[in-house]
Structure 1
Amino acid sequence: MNLARLLICFLFSISIFPASAHQVASVELEFLKLENAWRLDGEMDIAYMLPETRNVLGGLPLKRSEVMQSPPEEFSRIRKETENTLRKLLRFTFAGQEIPWRVEFPDFQKDPFELPPEDGDIALVSTQILIDPIVAAGELRIHWAGEQETELIILIEENTDSPQVISTLPGGNLMILNQVAAPQTSAPGQPLDQAPPIITAPNEKPFLGGWLQSGFSHVLPKGLDHLLFILGLFLLLPKWKPLLGQSLLFTLAHSITLALSIFGIVDLPSQLVEVLIAVSIAWIGIENLFVKKLGKQRLILVFGFGLLHGLGFAGVLAEKLSGIPREKLVGPLLGFNIGVELAQITVLLCAFLILWPLKKWTKQIQQIGSSCIALAGFAWVIERLM
């Protein structure tokens, strides 16, 4: 049966899909409005900045200790390539017009040279992006052209206990400064004087939009293990109402452990979590071959595996949330979980649309699909144990 062969090839191929090129979860910059400059400070992953390591499948970060032993000409190349990459990823506009900016690397001015310390001996380089202040009314916006779901996070100092945090995914832009023209004033009988612009805080919606996109993209297109789990739920009983209930139950469960993990209440080794997630996928596939109806036991299982998948999300999300104050984490977590749920519903909707013209083969598709999901789960278990 050609349909069966296609289904087997598709599900097995995504189970062994190669790792992506070296990628960071987020790029974080802190915006400071100084007297003589508008400045954004951050630490860039050197492997993400260099073309030869950025495009390597499954590439790992460079080691700080090794980079610091490089010859001077390599330091010059790192500076050049980092600036080139930043100029491909970022651009700035003020009042709708593109404006110039420059990059400085304080680490290379140190004597002796030293990169910032980082857990795991990851090579980062301190980076400052500088813009000459503009004395006019308008919005300063940063435009982000990062790859896949790498998030741009901006922390804006506002002379308060905690900075404002805004974020966007690739293709988006953020307002980081808003200057409003002040009213003209003058003494009686004198010409009008134009006062300096009034600077106001950005009025961007800091979280839900960007984090909703982030949650969605963690399932579609990159969350293959999560996608297979949802398809496993679909294959047992392809009916909309019970599937929507299971999807919401699964989201509730992973929302709980995601929050507990992000707040440091629950902490499990990442490798153990990834192996158990693969086991959950294999389990769902196998159970589909023997269970004929949806019962309480299945719902308990979905909730339990949801708790497990939440820990997996936390491992990915922790870096993105690292610069956000604890009291401001509710927005990102809420947006992320809503995005995940929307992605799950999208997967189910697509599955229904694919199955609709193939109704007469529903039983065969359920059996073959569940078998392939189980095999994919086992393949991931072996891969993640190695």
Structure 2
Amino acid sequence: MSLSRLIINNFRNLTAVDLELSHGFNFLIGENGSGKTSLLEAIFYLGHGRSFKSHISNRVINYERDHFVLFGRVEEAKHEWSVGLQKTRQGDTTLKINGEDGKKISDLAHLLPMQVITPEGLTLLNGGPTYRRAFLDWGLFHQHNEFYNHWANLKRLLKQRNAALAQVRNYAELRPWDIELAKLAHLVSDMRAVYAEALRPEIEKTCQFFLPELEITVSFHQGWEKESEYSEILMQGFERDRTVGYTMVGPQKADFRFRANGLPVEDVLSRGQLKLLMCALRLAQGEYLITQKSRQCLFLIDDFASELDPTKRALLAERLRQSGSQVFVTAITQDQLNQMHWQGQQSDKRFSVTQGKIVLL
């Protein structure tokens, strides 16, 4: 799965971009503020219906325009899809796949699985559990078609329960919600646990590749005591939940934790080691998708590998080449790109980015 063509209109400073892309490596070279990251952001938006930098859509629309348009041609084996997305300042979204209306963002996401490696991505390790749940749920979304509906229904029931907490007088009134909520909670948590266990050896093997001096271990925590029935937990915590106004325990508190030599990674690893670990996690998950589903994963790398030492940069490039994935890498100068030890191939493409204008070198 790869993007063979990308059209961008009025997305940040990219007013009119039309690119034919390599199925392998695509290098974006330009000064800070030229539009390199905006191009990665546009690709991510096309696959997720949102930005990885801002939750406010108005910020990504060019300040002189009232909407942006993204279009991509997606290819896999002998299949091809056209995808298009428009967003207005009023918040209206128009999405088409092969010219058909009525599609959902989740349909786009299925078409374009992608991993983002950026300096801000360290929140996966030193941020809250929300980021690590999202990491697990990304994998499940692409591994199991039914997961998204279970996850969406779980979120809906949790929202309804939290609203009901302010209205009910006794637990009997809440019990019908909790019966359904408990079923979904166990289902989603079991799927997360199975996926986390399957991914664990891949993560540990990839971490050994990048950080051989450390023993990295992972563990999944479902959000409540492992051997307990969630419906009983909900009943016992009713008065507490009603007092605080939300459900305090459950799958919405799940975590996927990483330890180095037995200690939390955020407490013992240097910033450089954390960067490598984050790279390892993203690579391991992307490669696992490739082996399990025979689907390629796009990798968006924003000025990140330049902060790694030459040996680690070479290792990262080697693993990405071996995966056969489509990769987008930003750099400030050609010299910086050379120093990053990306060994070029004939199929690679290099683009110059200057004040929102992008040309093939």
Write 1 or 2 for the structure with the bigger share of helix: 1
TM above 0.5, one fold? no
Asked which structure has the greater CA Rg, the reply is: 1
Which structure ranks higher in relative contact order (CA pairs < 8 Å, sequence separation ≥ 6)? 2
TM-score, length-normalised on structure 1? 0.28
Write 1 or 2 for the structure with the bigger share of strand: 2
TM-score, length-normalised on structure 2? 0.29
